[in-house]
A = this chain, B = another copy of it.
Amino acid sequence: MSSTNNKIVIIGGVAGGASAAARARRLSEDAEIVMFERGPFVSFANCGLPYHVGGEIEQRSKLILQTPQSFNNRFNVDVRVQHEVIAIHRSDKQVRVKDLATGKEFLESYDALVYSPGAAPIVPPIAGIDNPLTFTLRNIPDMDRIIEQIDSRELKQVAVIGGGFIGLEMMEAFVHRGIKTTLVEALPQVMNSVDREMAGIVHQEIRSKGVDLKLNTKLTQISHNPAQQTLTLSLNDNESLDVDLLIMAIGVRPEVGLARDAGLEIGEFGGVLVNSQMQTNDPVIYAVGDAVQTKDLITGEQTLVPLAGPANRQGRIAADNILGHEAHYQATQATAICKVFDFAVGSTGKNEKQLKQLEIDYEKVFVHAASHAGYYPGAEIVSLKVLFEKSSGKLLGAQAVAKDGVDKRIDVLAVAIRAGMTIDELEHLELSYAPPYGSAKDLVNLAGFVGTNIIKGLVAPVHFDQMDAPADNQLILDVRTPNELKNTGCIEGAINIPVDELRQRASELPKDKEILVYCQVGLRGHVAYRMLTNLGYQAKNLIGGYRSYRLAKA
């Protein structure tokens, strides 16, 4: 260890900061390590907060992974909670600290500084938002305040603004508590990390649990009714809604005030700029976690992705570099997952909306198949979307929604994306198979089959958003059984010939029209498509079938 880095000061004691402190101590017994945390807790389970509100995690104490004392016992780190760093004096290598309990301020010197304050909930400047019944959720005191509301008075109706991770988790928590909940989202979908048609499954699930889901809806004004202890929310659809409590969960913003004031460079997305060693433009100041921008794995450009996994790794990497063990952060791919009642929704890499903005020439596949062998109990349909570059086949992103098996497929694809694999390589992945766990041809393999067929020209794809207004020279063919059409409906104007009759009845179809074939999920459609093409018809197959088509409208 270089003796010039003998004193390490850490701003923020949760994911990134605590990881940095623990790693630093493991690397050096004689470093002096001081960790300032503005709140009353260090190293708490911030991702678990909504689940304690909802009651799944019964004991509050389970969320407190370390105390200042236990952390000090284990790692000999001087942990000071309720101490807020209020300024960084770079020229003197000092921070100014305020003891929030006493109000006293003091200076603390550093040889190396780790900046890890996290990101703060965004509270938009809506008229009336400053009221005692509006809450955000970031830490344990926030959680305690919300639970206090639930426990101390009868909440009949609450609203959650924002359908991202925290908004969805809080929505679920209130439903678990038996409280009528409205979820308000300004966009046409929740979970903006996935594309609209994948979010359709989530919309169905949310509504099926009795939540009033308002998409394309903005909160415009709040009136506080102190006598009733309620808020009247005005929405941009001219409706209003009376609620007993309001959660603002529209997103988070990196906490960069201190860094900016100290002249550290801030990037275009509002996060602190760092190199791959997590160094800011001041080489003795490192920044990690939700407050920093990182390199995007897919584009190589800057990105801002506040997630716990990267924060933990970055803290470790900062400590390595401070103590002379060169280490580099390897770019962020935004792998994320969220539980929404019985479903999981996960994603990794870029979604289609982002690829459009980036003007990347992509193709996509959808597969809907069982999470494990369909004949073994408990299998659930997984809906998987995989995006890849048209020219090279390079994987760009993946999304999955299901009651089972989402995390596995997203993780498999996260590794494939990180390894730079192409869509055809998915075909060859050898994944674990026994009937309780998978299928001989896993969903990920199937995505490879479909994608490779597209690349090889063995299928001409058509997508769900191209089916509603067929051209005059197009004809829509539904190859499912009549019973399926009766049960689920069909695409307007489709004619029906079941795939197993198609070989005999192909002559009923015109050769001068393009036939847009579809089935339920795309598999029988592909068989029919191949048959028709081999028989000299012009055809396309609806990738993902009627299921993708319908989900886009859900």
Interface stretch (choices A32-40, A201-209, A338-346, A484-492): A338-346
Q: Which B residues touch A70, using CB under 8 A?
A: 500
> Within the complex, which residue of B26, B312, B534 is in contact with A441, where a contact is CB–CB below 8 Å?
B312
Q: Which B residues touch A336, using CB under 8 A?
A: 432-434
> Within the complex, which residue of B311, B419, B433 is in contact with A419, where a contact is CB–CB below 8 Å?
B419
A411 within 8 Å of B (CB atoms): yes
Q: How near does chain B come to A19, taking the closest CB pair, in angstroms? A: 8
A185 within 8 Å of B (CB atoms): no
A440 within 8 Å of B (CB atoms): yes
Q: Given A76-B503, A308-B440, A330 and B428 touching (CB < 8 A)? A: yes
CB-based contact A429/B416 at 8 Å: no
Closest to A333 in B: B430
A216 within 8 Å of B (CB atoms): no
CB-based contact B432/A410 at 8 Å: yes
A74 within 8 Å of B (CB atoms): yes
- Best-surrounded residue of A329, A336, A339, A373 (most CB of chain B within 10 A): A373
- Chain A residues 306-334 with CB under 8 Å of chain B are 307-313, 316, 325, 329-330, 332-334
A73 within 8 Å of B (CB atoms): yes
Q: Which B residues touch A411, using CB under 8 A?
A: 408, 411-412, 431-432, 438
Q: How near does chain B come to A323, taking the closest CB pair, in angstroms? A: 11
Copies in the complex: 2
A73 to B74, CA, bound (A): 69
A526 within 8 Å of B (CB atoms): yes
A313 to B316, CA, bound (A): 41
Interface stretch (choices A56-64, A83-91, A247-255): A56-64
A460 within 8 Å of B (CB atoms): no
Interface string of A17-60 (1 = CB under 8 A from B): 00000000111111000000000000001011001000011000
Q: Which B residues touch A418, using CB under 8 A?
A: 425, 428-430
Q: How near does chain B come to A3, taking the closest CB pair, in angstroms? A: 14
CB-based contact A51/B435 at 8 Å: yes
Given A330-B425, A339-B434: 13 more A-B contacts, CB < 8 Å: A26-B458, A26-B531, A30-B534, A45-B435, A48-B375, A73-B500, A307-B430, A335-B431, A335-B433, A348-B430, A411-B438, A412-B412, A414-B432
**Chain A residues at the B interface, C-beta cutoff of 8 Å:** 15, 25-30, 45, 47-48, 51, 56-57, 62-63, 65, 70, 73-76, 165, 297, 307-313, 316, 325, 329-330, 332-339, 344, 346, 348, 373, 375-377, 406-408, 410-412, 414-416, 418-421, 425, 427-438, 440-442, 445, 449, 456, 458, 499-500, 503, 526-527, 530-531, 534-535
